[in-house]
Amino acid sequence: MDHEAFMREALAEAEKAYAAGEVPIGAVVVRGGEIISRAHNRREAEHDATAHAEILAIREAGRRLGGWRLTGCTLYVTIEPCPMCAGALVQSRVEHLVYGAADPKGWADRSLLEIVQNPGLNHRLAVTAGVLAEESSALMKRFFRSRRRNAQAGSSSPVEGLEDRE
């Protein structure tokens, strides 16, 4: 499987999130070399703390495949999943997680917690880390740099000024 090609699709989703003022994380679910679903963060737009890219992509994949078990599926996501999303990956029986940049401040593959490969759970995922990590990390840094600039300028809008990309 061409991990970089599918991660580029996840990055395209992350760019959509960035443009909408959302934390720029994107995800795609792939089965049999075909993208089954794609999503990006929509927490601000949906006023929903669970509207993470991974959760939205998992939900759509389940709808498209007609069931909650996503066996044979790989989820590509630009940033290491949080504990909630890692739990959803285990619960949905995704077989393989591929992510871009690690998040050492609290996420759930290897950085802080070990959820997706925890031997105490009933399902474990194969994990490939670091695919297009530099691009994924750069997008996050650009987003938060822009947010800090907006905060210093007194803007209350999470979107205002985001078109000013570096």
The pair phi, psi for residue 74, each rounded to 5°, is: -120, 135
Catalytic residue among 9, 15, 46, 54: 54
Helices 53-65/83-91 angle, 10° precision? 20
Going by C-alpha positions, the residue among 16, 3, 24, 22 that lies closest to residue 136 is: 24
Phi and psi at 52, nearest 5°, equal -80, 155
Give 23's strand partners: none
Question: Residue holding tokens 């949906």?
Answer: 46
- Taking the C-alpha atoms of residue 71 and residue 74, their distance in angstroms, rounded to an integer, is 9
Residues 65, 157: Cα–Cα separation, whole Å: 38
Asked about 80 being catalytic, the answer comes back as: no
Active site residues: 54
